[in-house]
A and B are shown apart, each in its own frame.
Chain A
Amino acid sequence: MSKKASIHDVLTGEHYISGNEAIAEGCLAAGCRFFGGYPITPSSEIAERMSRRLPQVGGVFIQMEDEIASIATILGASWAGRKSMTATSGPGISLMMENIGLGAMTETPFVIINVQRAGPSTGLPTLVGQGDVMQARWGSHGDYELIALSPNSVQEAFDLSIEAFNLAEKYRTPVIMLTDESICHMVEKLIIPTKSKIKIENRKKPTGSKKNHLTFKPDADMIPPMAAAGEGYNVFVTGLTHDTKGYPVITPEAQEILVKRLCDKILLNEEKIRLTEEYMTKDAKVLVISYGITARSAKGAVNLARKKGIKAGLLRLITIWPFPTKLIEELAKKVDAIVVAEINNGQIVKEVREATRKSVPVVLSSKLGGTVHTPKEILAKIEEVKKK
């Protein structure tokens, strides 16, 4: 839209584009300069736009032979010092799981865009779903934590793409943008700010002697500075349990120290990472919790309920993982009931029940994919649980 913006940089200006295109621009604005991927509906427009845009900004785009190879390339690119990403959906994200674990174990910053479609398996390739929420958390084997974000508009798809890279760099972790077909295929206005207004976070670099550098020695914030391969520092990287040097140490003691830190650096920073939106929650008696596309209908439902005199409010989760357990625990004390609206058979609802410790009824408004809740459908649940 904006004729002034240079194609060689951030496309500052007003645009009327899809969520997928906004994500591509957001990732570029965040400083992403490497994309390794394998196009899959409904995420293909991200790969398409990146293949055109990355060469314009001096980056590299590779289409690999499959998703397993794709995610391997972005780990490698990250260790070479580039901000890297991939975009996929359903069957693709399943194939990437092994190396997401490698990313967590090796504390490699990268971003995966998962444009959720309905599964399992090939499912509904071109239609919406939110069934990958639990997979995003623990789809790879072993104990780890990562960060997952869920936008509810084209603008937020852009903004959170920047946030995803910033969080990946800051916490040295894979970040999953857990978006959905609806958000990514809908077209809305996007405002891209000037480059100077975009806040960019970069990974910490080691400052000490190159010779004595320990690849995985954490600072007080639990996060080790990261040297890129080829900068002269020691870089030992393995998927095996390792010590601060990066050398494999196959003992329960080393496992306790490493895995505890990998989890804690995310979990103990939950409040710092947390992004949520509260709408009419102050006096709410029925709280709706939702995320992504479903949260838009949930907001509509809250408005309809208020018109009928029902004190409803919305908590929109923008950060999905780490889960805002404490916040929900607090909100639950003030309400009579909670409705969780999501396009799956009940995934986040379980986390909400855990957080509320059964202090209030928590009911699920579910769809199994292919379509989005209408505000009236969520309203029906609100009416069902409100105290007579």
Chain B
Amino acid sequence: MTRTEIRLCGFGGQGIALMGKILGAAVSIFEKRKSVTTQSYGPESRGGASACNLVISEEEVDFPYVLAPDAFICMSKEAYTTHIDSLKEGGWFFYEENLVPVDDRMKKAGHIYSIPATAIAEKELGKKIVANIVMLGFFAELNDYIDQKAILKSVIEFVPARFRELNEKAFKTGKNYAKKVKKQEAKK
């Protein structure tokens, strides 16, 4: 049975929980596979640690929690410190390069990609709040697990209609950044 685990972490207010739901719905509703999204519950609030976990499977998901993620999307220092060790050996690691000071521990990842999602959102799109969607676009272009068209459809479904254009733009910006990263990689 194929089972993929994805962990998304950051701080409250970044829209981490929304990212998890968007990815989950991309799988369950737009790809017609199975997924379960869970969140860490506790006295978290804006600024505190926020974690969202996703399990993807071709069949019904049995145990719904993430133990050793195949992919880890990290958007804060605290999240990195807490969760980097849980990443599966050879897994995929995506991080916000201005917010996550990385160290040797990330080397267990087989694929490492970084993006200044917050700065891009602020400078290129004028709204810091869409940093999560920039990150999703970046992830969508690079990841092996979820179809990027399904992710975009899911983004459109979840964001309020009046912000649709902004979010589509944010998604595309993240995607384009990933394309550039891929080109640079190819050159190496």
Chain B stretch 25-76: residues in CB contact (< 8 A) with chain A = 25, 28-29, 34-39, 41-42, 60-65, 67
Binds B, one of A180-188, A212-220, A229-237: A180-188
Which residues of B lie under 8 Å from residue A303 when comparing CB positions? 1, 62
Instruction: Judge whether A185 and B39 touch: CB under 8 Å.
Output: yes
Tell whether A353 is near chain B: CB-to-CB under 8 Å. no
The reply on B172 being an interface residue by CB < 8 A is no
Is there contact, CB below 8 Å, between A186 and B36? yes
By the criterion CB–CB under 8 Å, are B62 and A372 in contact? no
**Chain A 169-190 interface 0/1 with B at a Cβ cutoff of 8 Å (1 = within):** 0000000000001100111110
Per DSSP, chain B at the interface is mixed
A156 to B: closest C-beta gap in Å: 11
Interface-lining segment among A47-55, A143-151, A258-266, A294-302:
A294-302
Total contacts A to B, CB within 8 angstroms? 61
Q: For A300, list chain B residues within 8 Å (CB).
A: 62-63
B25 touches A42 (CB 8 A): no
Please tell me if the beta carbons of A189 and B41 are within 8 angstroms of each other in the complex. no
State the CA gap A62–B21 with chains docked (Å): 30
| Bound CA span A187–B20, Å | 9
Q: Is the CB of B29 within 8 A of A372?
A: no
Q: Given A126-B41, A126-B42, A300-B62, are A188 and B29 neighbors across the interface (CB < 8 Å)? A: no
B63 and A375 form a contact (CB under 8 A): yes
Given contacts A297-B62, A375-B62, contact A186 B29 (CB under 8 A): no
A184 vs chain B, min Cβ distance (A): 10
Kindly state the separation between the CA atoms of A299 and B63 in the bound complex, as whole angstroms.
9
Write 21 A-B pairs (CB below 8 A) sorted by A numbering: A1-B157, A14-B29, A16-B25, A16-B37, A42-B41, A126-B41, A126-B42, A127-B41, A181-B41, A182-B38, A185-B38, A186-B36, A186-B64, A187-B37, A187-B38, A188-B36, A189-B29, A297-B62, A372-B64, A374-B63, A375-B62
